[in-house]
Amino acid sequence: MHIVVCLKQVPDSAQIRVHPVTNTIMRQGVPTIINPYDLFALEEAMRLRDLIGGEVTVLTMGPPMAEDSLRKALTFGADRAVLLTDRFFAGSDTLATSFALASALTKIGQEFGVPSIVFTGKQTIDGDTAQVGPGIAKRLGLNQLTYVARIVELDRDANKIIVERRAEGGVQVLETRLPVLITMLEGVNEIRRGSLESAYRAASAKIVTWNAAAAGITDLTKCGLKGSPTIVKKVFAPTPRAEKAHQVPTDGLAPEALADAVIAEIFSRQPSVESDLVRFSAGQ
């Protein structure tokens, strides 16, 4: 079975700082990582492959340096990596991204076998939209399974898959037919380390690199800025709150006395909390 995992290289947002003066992002020295959510998808794909055989291809659209992320995925144990890179893709929003990725997936199907499952992460930590997965599914006509917490059953003869999906207010158990697009929920597995052998293979592996033309994209108006209906009007730092916290004096107070002081402060600021609490405790 052929499985493709879409993963994105993102700046490690934990290390991003906003320049205190110019209010712009300081990218200097900010390391890039594989979008953490995508690793759950990758591990799930490899788990399925190990179970039933086949191949896992990882696909990313990004600048040439996104190759690092693909090599890392190969180190973890993916079998093949495809990098989609072209200046025409710059500035893509989710609609344009899903167009480019869907085109590359079609091409991957022609070159390496049609995928039965396409995985994406739940969302990215930079774009943070959770839209690209559904976008790809729609464009390729794949059955869409978002927020999947567990793959319960995969019946290849019947082309059938059963999953548990995190829905609003509960868990849905869904059955559908392959091919599908799955966006994987976080925390459902743990990415493996990869053996020394796979790390070595990854270091010297050839990454399949396609530009727009090689990926079979002829209509460039659907790519990048041109193909993006949304427009970023401005980027700005949140307005800092003028006031800092009012500090409850603590000097030398025993916890009990301090607790009383804190409660008094809370009630004086927010009298409704007191009445709510009284109602709550009376109802007990």
Ligand X SMILES: Nc1ncnc2c1ncn2[C@@H]1O[C@H](COP(=O)(O)O)[C@@H](O)[C@H]1O
| Residues lying near ligand FAD in the complex (CB under 6 A) | 13-14, 125
Check if the beta carbon of residue 106 is closer than 8 Å to that of residue 67. Answer: no
β-strands 180-184, 117-121 pairing = parallel
* Residue number with CB closer to ligand X (127 or 253): 127
- Residues within window 19-58 making contact with another protein, judged by CB under 8 A: 19-26, 28-29, 31
Of 54, 115, 121, 135, the one binding another protein (CB under 8 A) is: 135
- 182 closest CA partner among 219, 130, 251: 130
**Hey, what are 164's tokens?**
């548990």
Question: Which range in 6-14, 163-171, 226-234, 274-282 contacts ligand X by CB under 6 A?
Answer: 6-14
- Residues within window 108-137 making contact with ligand X, judged by CB under 6 A: 120-121, 123-124, 127-133
User: Does residue number 151 form part of the binding site for ligand X (CB under 6 A)?
Assistant: no
Partner from ligand FAD, ligand X, another protein, none binding residue 221, C-beta < 5-8 Å depending on class: none
User: Does residue number 11 form part of the binding site for ligand X (CB under 6 A)?
Assistant: no
What is the amino acid identity at position 29? Answer: G
- 199 closest CA partner among 59, 54, 71, 44: 71
Question: Which range in 35-43, 137-145, 174-182, 195-203 contacts ligand X by CB under 6 A?
Answer: 35-43
Residue 61, H or E segment: strand 55-61
Instruction: Using the structure block, give the residue that is written with the tokens 């994209």.
Output: 217
User: Does residue number 75 form part of the binding site for ligand X (CB under 6 A)?
Assistant: no
- Residues within window 227-246 making contact with another protein, judged by CB under 8 A: 228-241, 244-246
Rounded Cα distance between 142 and 115, Å, is 10
Instruction: Using the structure block, give the residue that is written with the tokens 């409704």.
Output: 272
Which residues, at least 6 apart from 254, have a Cβ–Cβ distance to it below 8 Å? none
Rounded Cα distance between 194 and 186, Å, is 20
User: Does residue number 8 form part of the binding site for ligand X (CB under 6 A)?
Assistant: yes
What is the amino acid identity at position 228? Answer: S
Question: Which range in 40-48, 108-116, 205-213, 253-261 contacts another protein by CB under 8 A?
Answer: 253-261
Q: What is the nearest approach in angstroms of another protein to the Cβ of residue 7?
A: 17
User: Does residue number 18 form part of the binding site for another protein (CB under 8 A)?
Assistant: yes
Query: Interface residues with ligand X (CB under 6 A)?
Result: 6-8, 35, 37-38, 59-62, 94, 97, 101, 120-121, 123-124, 127-133
